[in-house]
Amino acid sequence: MPVWEIIGPVMVGPSSSHTAGAAHIGRIVRMCWGGEIKKASLYMRGSFASTGAGHGTDKALVAGLMGMAQDDPGIRRAFELAREAGMEFEFHIEEVAGAHPNSVRVVVEGDGRTMEAVGYSIGGGAVLLHKLDGFQVDISCALPAVIIMNKDVQGVVSAVTSYLSAHGVNIATMRLHRDSRGGLATMVIELDPAGAGVDTEVMRNMHPGIVRVIKIEGED
């Protein structure tokens, strides 16, 4: 077992789940968005909503959306720094039956598009990206990962796996989802650490059915 799993992550406290985990979720949302975030609405659930302010969950989430790591001292000034950078943000509380107690739904807007993500903090700074734009992805983000959104047409899976194989990248896990036959689909692929170097621009253009490729840098 890694030492950090025993003693906890290097972080700005006070809570590994409510502070470090929240910052981690924010950073993952930023990776999924693919760049600077200018407007975000955050819908706090469970204990994130009830006790989050006391643990700095709100500041940590905003810090993560700006790209700060969980040990960045700037977390304590996240609201001030976000406003200086021109980021608009607002918090809401929502009750969702069966929702994870340490969870948040983040809606990001800008450049004529919108993205929605749901993340959980599961303890010790570890998190789970649960949903992205309505699709269930359920990845820990400990390993590098790519999320591919595509039309449900023949050849997309083959094109993606052939690319990874040709570049010597091993697949750790792979899950496929689709909303309906011939509709929209997703591939959620976790990669061994060497997969951090995959080129999303090349992947996006290797099949006409691919709509979007999202790359998440792993924490390991």
**pLDDT, averaged across the chain:** 86
> What CATH number is given to the structural domain containing 171?
3.30.70.260
List the domain range (segments joined by +) for residue 167: 145-216
Q: How confident is the model at residue 13 (pLDDT cuts 50, 70, 90)?
A: very low
Residue 168 and residue 99 share a domain: no
Residue 139 lies in a domain: no
Residue 198 lies in a domain: yes
Domain boundary among 133, 158, 180: 133
Residue 24 lies in a domain: yes
Residue 103 and residue 176 share a domain: no
Instruction: Centre a 10 Å sphere on the Cβ of residue 8 and count the other Cβ atoms it contains.
Output: 16
Please compute the mean of the pLDDT values over residues 118-146 and round it to a whole number. 89
Q: What is the number of structural domains in the chain?
A: 2
Sign of CA dihedral 167, 173, 178, 184: negative
Lowest mean pLDDT of 23-37, 78-92, 146-160, 190-204, name the range. 190-204
What is the C-alpha to C-alpha distance for residues 127 and 9, in angstroms, rounded to an integer?
12
Structure confidence by residue, pLDDT tens digits, 41-77? 999 998 888 775 666 899 999 999 999 988 888 888 9
- Name the one residue in this structure whose structure tokens are 């951090």: 196
- Name the one residue in this structure whose structure tokens are 């091993």: 170
